[in-house]
Amino acid sequence: MKQAPVQDSAAARPSGYTERQLMRIAAVIAGLVLAFTSGAAAKGAAAVCKADSDCVLVPDDCCGCTGGGKQKALPKKDRAGAERARQARCAGALCAEVMSQDPSCAATSAICKEGKCTLGS
């Protein structure tokens, strides 16, 4: 029985991409999978939070409120995963040094309302 020849890892790469670029692409894909699957799990859960202390404010995109972006409320237990996904997705992103006018940036706290984390005042 013939075996297929073993390919050099550099030869197996899509042309034009370095190993570092492929690793970044993989990290972004993993972050997106994590973001979408944890969101789906949260929708099926009975309650995400029980008290305001279960919730935190986090940047909603690459740039937070002090970088022209916006913020959102998340369960404290999801903060680390969301931050890893954001860092992978936003590697190399540049943010403006300007306070955002987005309404979410007026929130000074995250609160638990009807079992879900939301922006507080």
Residues 33-76 have pLDDT tens digits of 655 555 444 444 446 899 999 999 999 989 999 999 999 999 99
Q: For residue 99, tell me if it sits in a domain.
A: yes
Q: For residue 50, tell me if it sits in a domain.
A: yes
CA distances from 99 to 60, 65, 66 (A): 14, 6, 4
Q: For residue 34, tell me if it sits in a domain.
A: yes
Q: For residue 1, tell me if it sits in a domain.
A: no
Q: For residue 6, tell me if it sits in a domain.
A: no
pTM over 0.75: no
Q: Do the Cβ atoms of 65 and 97 come closer than 8 Å? A: no
